[in-house]
Amino acid sequence: MPRPERMCQADPVKQAQRLKAVRYDIRGPVLRRALELEDAGHQILKLNLGNPAPWGLATPEPIVADMIYNLRSAQGYSDARGIYSARVAVAQYYQTQGVTSVQPEDVMLGNGVSELIVMALQALLDTGDEVLVPSPDYPLWTGAVTLCGGRAVHYRCDEDAGWQPDLDHLESRITADTRAIVIINPNNPTGAVYSREVLEGMLDLARRHGLLVFADEIYDRIVYDGAVHHTAAALAPDVPMISMGGLSKTYRAAGFRSGWLAISGFTGRDTDYLEGLQLLANMRLCPNVPAQHAIQTALGGYQSINALIRPGGRLHEQREHAWRQITAIPGVDCVKPEGALYLFARLDPEVHKIHDDERLIIDLLEQQNLLLSHGTGFNIDTPDHLRLVFLAPVDVLDDAVARLRTFLSTYRQ
């Protein structure tokens, strides 16, 4: 008789082991729970993401019109670095900021800054290499460093000093394995705009220790009350630097996925890294071509963001109102942000005894149908902060803060 066939049960398909250490909590369990509640019929007030369009902050019409006008000619792949006219516009923008060395060949376009962050780190890091990342940070930086085989080493930003980076702590974190420093200015999630003195101190550390600088400046034009954003590359033309920006925030074109990086401060000895970056650009063929046609129009001519950030402008007034309201809640304080789109509020541990801030945010979501972000998701080591996006109109912000006040008045862990 023939032998019965052995029944083999296939092993489950598992994620790559390197992903086990990657965290991106702001789109993690909290967001999954929000989606479950929406599927169950609940209406969730979402103030967790810096996404302008849902709150009526539409992309300026000239940018949309220019992309539509060029749509027929946007077929086929572009140069791997991006179309020439857009790279010229980016280079000229940096030249106006004092980075006179940047030319179109020093610019690379991407499908948003997020793609460029990963590419720039992939070209640099070997297993075990360290990158200095601010705490708190935009968590994509920490996650991308880990994904690329590196180790994110966090340097402290001092809340008592308006969330400015602590230079002494930053220097103490530099080791023989350190390859780069990440600067996020204006900062997400804190809204800090770094002083020239602090920036020069950071850049001097990079200079003395031979480190590459990644300058994430996506919010460079969103500043309030006379705060001045200093373009890092203009302060240190001799330091190798990758400066990053894009259309998503200043130009309210988040869905276009159109970002750029500018290369400055490199010498003839640095061609190996730049060749690696070009290799990665070639492998993805090219960035989204239609959205590249929006860049020249966005960077030139009338800057609509200016009316929004000055006193009386929508973003300025929403920031003021939300900050006043949230700091009126007992046991809640917040450094007033000088830039960006966020309040990073602190819950006084003597009043609100929180030991798990992700649990706090999920409980808030389930009890009040309000979605915010927890502070440890931005890589700080104490569970006493939360982030609120102030893109919504004042009446919506009032509703959100009222829900938060009601929740905190009885919440215990």
Q: Is residue 346 part of a domain?
A: yes
Both 283 and 237 in one domain: the answer is yes
Report the alpha-carbon distance of residue 155 to residue 201 in Å, rounded: 14
Both 140 and 288 in one domain: the answer is yes
Both 53 and 93 in one domain: the answer is no
pLDDT of residue 328: 98
pLDDT at residue 20 above 80? no
Both 316 and 383 in one domain: the answer is yes
Both 261 and 184 in one domain: the answer is yes
Split into its structural domains, the chain has a count of 2
pLDDT (tens digit, 9 = 90+) per residue, 121-133? 999 999 999 999 9
pLDDT at residue 270 above 60? yes
Band the pLDDT of 17: cuts 50, 70, 90. confident
Q: Is residue 332 part of a domain?
A: yes
pLDDT at residue 399 above 60? yes
pLDDT (tens digit, 9 = 90+) per residue, 73-129? 889 999 999 999 999 999 999 999 999 999 999 999 999 999 999 999 999 999 999
Residue where one domain finishes, among candidates 299, 319, 340:
299
pLDDT of residue 350: 94
Q: Is residue 120 part of a domain?
A: yes
Both 94 and 24 in one domain: the answer is no
Angstrom CA distances, 217 to 137, 208, 269, 350, 352, stand at 13, 23, 26, 36, 34
Cβ neighbours for 99, distance < 8 A, ≥ 6 positions apart? 231, 233, 234, 237, 243, 262, 264
- What distance, in Å, lies between the first and last C-alpha atoms of the chain? 67
Residue range 190-209: mean pLDDT, rounded: 98
Both 156 and 210 in one domain: the answer is yes
Q: For all residues of the chain together, what is the average pLDDT?
A: 94
Report the alpha-carbon distance of residue 177 to residue 179 in Å, rounded: 6
Q: Is residue 3 part of a domain?
A: no
Q: Is residue 88 part of a domain?
A: yes
pLDDT of residue 8: 60
Residue range 254-275: mean pLDDT, rounded: 93
Both 369 and 265 in one domain: the answer is no
pLDDT of residue 21: 74
pLDDT (tens digit, 9 = 90+) per residue, 330-368? 999 999 999 999 999 999 999 999 999 999 999 999 999
Domain with 387 in it: what CATH number?
A: 3.90.1150.10
Helix (H, G, I), strand (E, B) or coil at 49: coil
Domain with 176 in it: what CATH number?
A: 3.40.640.10
C-beta of residue 98 within 8 angstroms of C-beta of residue 117: no
C-beta of residue 206 within 8 angstroms of C-beta of residue 213: yes
Both 311 and 194 in one domain: the answer is no
Q: Is residue 9 part of a domain?
A: no
Both 367 and 259 in one domain: the answer is no
pLDDT-above-90 percentage for the chain:
89
Structure token digits, residue 382:
């104490």
Band the pLDDT of 2: cuts 50, 70, 90. low
Q: Is residue 288 part of a domain?
A: yes
Residue range 210-228: mean pLDDT, rounded: 97
**Angle at CA of residue 22, ends 20 and 27, nearest 5°:** 115
pLDDT of residue 269: 85
Residue where one domain finishes, among candidates 236, 269, 299:
299
pLDDT (tens digit, 9 = 90+) per residue, 184-195? 999 999 999 999
pLDDT at residue 208 above 60? yes
Read off the pTM. 0.92
Both 87 and 205 in one domain: the answer is yes
Residue range 156-182: mean pLDDT, rounded: 98
Angstrom CA distances, 274 to 218, 226, 269, 288, stand at 22, 37, 10, 22
**Segments forming the whole domain that contains residue 47:** 18-57+307-410
Cβ neighbours for 283, distance < 8 A, ≥ 6 positions apart? none
pLDDT at residue 211 above 80? yes
Q: Is residue 37 part of a domain?
A: yes
Both 266 and 175 in one domain: the answer is yes
Band the pLDDT of 5: cuts 50, 70, 90. low
Residue where one domain finishes, among candidates 299, 321, 340:
299
